[in-house]
Amino acid sequence: MAKKFPTQHFLNRELGQLEFNRRVLAQAENASVPLLERLKYLCIVSSNLDEFFEIRVAGLKEQVKLSGIPSGPDGMDARQTLKLVREQAHQLIERQYQVLNDDLFPTLDQQGIRFLRRTHWNDAQRAWVREFFFNEVMPVLTPIGLDPSHPFPRVLNKSLNFAVELHGKDAFGRNSAKAIVQAPRVLPRTIPLPPEISDCAHDFVFLSSILHAHVGELFGGMEVLSCHQFRVTRNSTLFVDEEEVKNLRISLQGELPQRHFGDAVRLEVTDNCSPQVAEFLLQQFELGPEELYRVNGPVNLVRLMGIPDQVARDDLKFPPFSPGVPAVLQKKGADMFKVIRKSDVLLHHPFQSFKPIIDFIQQAAADPHVVAIKQTVYRTGVNSELMEALISATRLGKEVTVVVELLARFDEEANINWASRLEEVGAHVVYGVVGHKTHAKMLMVVRREEGKLRRYVHLGTGNYHPRTARYYTDFGLFTSNEEICADVNEVFVQLTSLGTASKLRHLWQSPFSLHSQILRAIQNETKLAQAGKRGHIIAKMNALLEPETIMALYAASQAGVKVDLIVRGVCALRPGVPGLSENIRVRSVIGRFLEHTRIFYFRNNLAHDVYLSSADWMDRNFFRRIEVCFPILDKKLRKRVIDEGLGIYLHDNCQAWDMDMDGHYRKKATRRAPLKCAQSALLQLLASLPLKSEL
């Protein structure tokens, strides 16, 4: 039976996610952020909201249908939460478009970057657009007139579509009043105009504007009364019963195409869409009026994300940098195994390069003394040098074992493809444990040295994904410590065999020991404080939601333990509540890079225990995933993690937001103090910059 906790001690998860997106939107509003980066932040909000509706709002709707499902720790049931979510989401989206129209578009215009409306096209531009429509757009369009033999089409999740009202008879004498035009995904949503017909450096037109201008060409002889763009967001949760299916990969391959056609959860239309058309669309998607979102601009803002790459204006972007490399690895062609044998190596991404990890696997693949490689894969991307190296190692006769998580949300297809390629060359591919996603980030190489086998390990807080390693903050550790390597080997054995779990020496592992070890460490600080000693906990993560952990932190605070929490996203804990959490501070840092590192520090009577992990403090990470949490044993590296991963963020007064007891965030006030920007300082410390700058 689930434990009951006082509901007033917890904040709502979904409302917390909307709060996070307000902080991201604030970056788009911040005039000190480079202009094209501000546009990116605006797009990130749209991307985040898409996933929020696809997963969280869709889940709430399912709970309302089923009714009787217990509420979350905050005490609100799904119906109450859904009502508040819709109210706040409407406000957030309205503000998002205000920023776009009243701030970003005018400021971009001043910099020679324009998005031209149809009413602003000159004759030359109008002629070019017409030719573009006939040559590039019209050939791939399939307008669908709605009648008994042509019912409302299946509309892809998040695709751009147009509802057209018509008058007159078609070629067969039918009175067609409505039609749907679906914009193929192969078409760009923003089209640059040629320089010779542009009045400034960078003129763009929206695909929606081109279609609006020429939609009549699709319905010859009929009158177009109106044309309105719309976009529907659907439930994207995959429904695969892992315990029932015989082959998870085959079942997933059958389920993935249906993700694009799940139940609708949100309808977006432009604010000039007529009530009649909006009502018609709501009926088709079986949505209520509260699920209609009218927007003042394009319905698919995510597609603006590519604009900065099309505009050669470095002065409007974050300054470039070259990720640093630890001194021990700077020698060209450095022998990774020799370096790691000598001492542990710590990498801090993206300030330090991801390349040593690629070098490590490539060297292992080519090294005749390496006999085996084992790795977990959660997200790695469509193109991956790491996966290619594993394929190469397999072809060279090495024993390669890859634990692929097929249910990594929105990366399922890429992971299935890599699994297939690995199996084709003879690698051992395992799909983890039924009911538990494999989220741990582990890589182990077994090498024959001086007549015996020696293991080398890489453990990380982030994915083996070179692209995200340029934008996400994460730590990675190389070590040949025999006890840690033995622990990692044991976890791999658990994942690939059917044996019982053995006790690990150093690693804390979900679902077996991580939760209890975290609680034990928190309770140890509590006991030290009760005994009159100083207690201090610092934890950095993406989300804090698990109720028992939160209650343990409350108890620690009441005992006098100082608790500093750096939580990028959702935090259900209420800080600063008199008599409950007066000694707890929660902050969120939103900057150039996505904060993704999980670090847990416990003062432990001056032992200064530091752990890095793949896990957030959430129910799913503690109980429904395979996660690892590993200690930093080397004192110098431990100090680096404390300084670079925690201390510098606790003193940030530039990109930090402090949370109040009601879950609202306020930007950290500088009060004329010198600006301290954690991410900027880490770039200065670890990377190579063209010049010193505050980001």
Ranges assigned E (strand) in 303-390 = 345-349, 370-377
Neighbours of 177 (CB within 10 A): 14
The answer for residues whose C-beta is within 8 angstroms of residue 393's C-beta and 6 or more apart is: 361, 364, 365, 370, 373, 400
Tokens 């998005």 correspond to 115
Token pair for 145: 């007139």
3-state secondary structure of 553: helix
Contact at 8 Å (CB) between 430 and 493?
no
Three-state SS letters, 251-311: HHHHHHHHHHHCCEEEEEEECCCCHHHHHHHHHHHCCCHHHEEEECCCCCHHHHHHHHHHC
642 closest CA partner among 588, 581, 564: 564
Neighbours of 65 (CB within 10 A): 10
Cα three-residue angle 13-14-15, rounded to 5 degrees:
95
DSSP character at residue 597: -
Neighbours of 667 (CB within 10 A): 15
The answer for residues whose C-beta is within 8 angstroms of residue 166's C-beta and 6 or more apart is: 145, 176, 177, 178, 179, 219, 222, 223, 224, 225
Tokens 């432990």 correspond to 604
Tell me if residue 436 is catalytic.
no
Number of residues in the chain: 695
Token pair for 598: 């999980």
Q: Which residues pair with 195 in a beta bridge?
A: none
Q: Is 435 left (phi over 0), alpha (psi -120 to 50) or beta?
A: left
SS3 of the chain: helix, strand, coil, percent, to 5: 40, 25, 35
Tokens 């991580």 correspond to 514
Q: Which residues pair with 610 in a beta bridge?
A: 601
Token pair for 550: 């939160």
Q: Which residues pair with 457 in a beta bridge?
A: 444, 479
Which among 212, 228, 439, 536 is annotated as catalytic? 439
* Residues belonging to the active site: 439
